[in-house]
Amino acid sequence: MHSDSSDLLTVAAVQMAPIWLDRTRTLAKVVAQLEAAASAGAQLVTFGEALVPGYPFWLERTDGARFESPLQKALHAHYLDQAVQVERGDLAPVTEAARALGVAVVLGCIERPSDRGGHSVYASLVQVDATGGVVSVHRKLMPTYEERLSWSPGDGHGLRTHRVGAFTVGGLNCWENWMPLARTALYAQGEDLHVAIWPGGMHNTPDITRFMAREGRSYVISVCGVMRRSDISDDLPHATLLRERADDVMANGGSCIAAPDGSWLVAPVADEERVIVATLDHARVREERQNFDAVGHYARPDVLQLSVNRERQATARFTDGG
């Protein structure tokens, strides 16, 4: 194998707990972890799904489908209050840190976008480049199971890849990674480093991470969060009830990195907050594409072809006269 320094990229998967349902304090913790990852040499730093301000763990534990429930309404109202509005500048601490440190970032957040009225939320994967620019925001196409009681379905606007060093980076939220057409949309744009973001759980990552690496002949980072009963603070609405209903551990991590042949570069890490750092070699991608390239020499676009709508969806479109 021949490779040189231009082929190498040092990446970090930050497995951390949020300051649950507190946007400002969670962002401060994200920035601290960015600094730690950058000091370890990381050029791309990744974080789990819905990390800012946190995953809605209460839904399955507090009868989340109860219609007209005052409890569910109160928790949802707080969630919206703490969600991220990118256009308002809520991610400024992260973008400013990315620029100062010269690192690219993949961050999972709960987005409350004004272009959909400002009162619904989406599980969004935000990519920030090393100049501090927000280069794409991908809203999860389909929330999973009880998530649909809180999150709205997204669109294809953020199904995009971006260059980071020698690599072309794309990402998907949680169970989107099981959607073969969503994966294909990224493969078709040259993806060779895939970032799968998860709220956390060893039940999620071991199989799909290696499978995606083997299918895409790409590096795959699965980055997870951690969440424990002890992370429920006193100042949250219904904090006592939330603690009573919570498990000791609701998300135990599982972050890992697979190489383009499906082998482990970093096997799944559980039960701790940790900055996981590894160096990737693009030559390994080129080697594995020799015998299989899902959208290249092994594709048959004359037989099978994917159409992707990347228009940002809106409920109303306004045309104003001059």
Within its chain, how far is the Cα of 320 from the centroid?
37
Half-sphere exposure of 75 (CA within 13 A, CB side): 24
Cβ atoms < 10 Å from Cβ of 231: 18
CB burial class (10 A; 0-12, 13-18, 19+) of residue 241?
middle
Q: Is 256 a catalytic residue?
A: no
Burial 83-107 (b: 16+ CB within 10 A, else e): bbebeeebbeebbebbeebebbbbb
How long a stretch of residues is the chain?
Answer: 322
Catalytic annotation, pick one of 140, 191, 224, 288: 140
User: Tokens for 290?
Assistant: 């020799």
DSSP per position, 199-218? S--TTTHHHHHHHHHHHHTS
Catalytic annotation, pick one of 109, 174, 224, 256: 174
Q: Is 49 a catalytic residue?
A: yes
Q: Is 174 a catalytic residue?
A: yes
Q: Is the peptide bond before 53 cis (omega within 30 degrees of 0)?
A: yes
Catalytic annotation, pick one of 29, 49, 176, 256: 49
Enzyme catalytic residues: 49, 140, 174
